[in-house]
Amino acid sequence: MASCLAPSLFLRRLAVAVAVAVAALPVISSSSPAPGCYDSIISFGDSLADTGNELHLSRSEGRPNQAGSLPYGETYFRRPTGRFSDGRLVIDFIAEWLGLPFVAPYYGDDGGRSAADFRKGVNFAVAGATALDASFFEGRGLGNDFPNISLGVQLGLFKELLPSVCSTSSDCKQFLGNSLVLMGEIGGNDYNYHFFVGRDLEEIQGIVPLVIEGIVSAISELIDLGAVMILVPGNFPIGCLPIYLTEFQGSDKEAYDSSTGCLNWLNEFSQYHNEQLQRKLNHLRELHPRANIIYVDYYNAALRFYQSPDKFGFDGRVLRACCGGEGTYNYNILEPCNSNARVCDDPSSYASWDGIHFTEAAYRWIFKGVADGSFTVPKLDISCPALALNEPALTSSE
């Protein structure tokens, strides 16, 4: 991906030099972070990026939280942190790569964080969050047990927080210009709530434009506020997840990909969402040429270890959950992953943690795939965008 253009030959060469330096560095090493001008990460999304928000909300409201007890967090943190995995998520690997601290949840248990703390990064992602507001689902007879922390609500919380982090418009633009914005993954739950109550595929495909419009609208607002570098992940191959494989298990062999065992029609739906998202992002780039809007190909980064599980240490277990109940895919909604669940001996040999979310090992491979292009997806180029901040764009004659 190209960095923002600079207004002089010197800055153009400097931008190229930074990009070359990033390309030459090893990845997944907190001791050798990618160089850049990022002071913080600002994150929005659902359980795939939640670093503790839903845990805090559930405790404050007296609700149970699946990720609030072991075995969640057992691999890396050795304790539950509210992450829906045995360890770190993609957002954690990104932070390590950039030499930044793990992104703190907006809702924190300590309650003592200051504006200075939030300047180092803040995460609004909440498990169960949707791109569309709760009123949309209520209108369709689809209630859910999660609080209304949709993308619109998350964005509203960020805008409320912003004046305490930066005092003037120019200060806020500088803060956002020096921040990496991670927009999702978001939108998966909008579809999940429809799929798991039996709505037909045509109806679910019909809401894809609405979901994508919600994502694009949020990105536009952030750009207007000063965001320069925005990463926008696509959807995963949901046809490979144990929860979907169990829910839609059938005897029709034609429904399955013979090379992976994943459900074709569900993966095709994910690809449809991703294609529509990329088209909208292309249009958004035309409207905002100064911003660097990068589509992050989670789909193909994950698909590689379903196609070649042996290469990633997932041989024979790539479609099964590490923590769960019995059955073909070790997933049973009546036997969720909790302190009483059967947990595999080695989560690193499994791609799925609890049937819905990935293991730390899988998240690591997904990050590596998008960070260095090792899975033949475009390499993630996050060269310093602030070089061109508030500068006139180059014309074709320069």
* Angle at alpha carbon of residue 379, lines to 383 and 227, rounded to 5°: 40
Look up 357 and say whether it is catalytic. yes
Look up 283 and say whether it is catalytic. no
- In this prediction, residue 349 carries a pLDDT of 97
pLDDT cut 70: percent of the chain above it: 83
- In this prediction, residue 398 carries a pLDDT of 29
Task: Give the whole-angstrom CA distance, residue 9 versus residue 2.
Answer: 16
Q: Which of 3, 40, 43, 47 is catalytic?
A: 47
Asked whether the beta carbons of 145 and 102 are under 8 A apart, the reply is: no
Task: Give the whole-angstrom CA distance, residue 194 versus residue 175.
Answer: 38
pTM of the model: 0.87
Sites in the chain below the pLDDT cut of 50: 1-35, 386-398
Look up 47 and say whether it is catalytic. yes
- In this prediction, residue 36 carries a pLDDT of 58
Task: Give the whole-angstrom CA distance, residue 280 versus residue 269.
Answer: 17
Asked whether the beta carbons of 219 and 80 are under 8 A apart, the reply is: no
Domains and CATH numbers, the chain: 35-388 (3.40.50.1110)
Helix ranges restricted to H, the chain = 9-24, 53-60, 90-97, 115-118, 134-139, 151-165, 169-177, 188-195, 201-206, 208-225, 242-247, 264-287, 298-307, 360-372
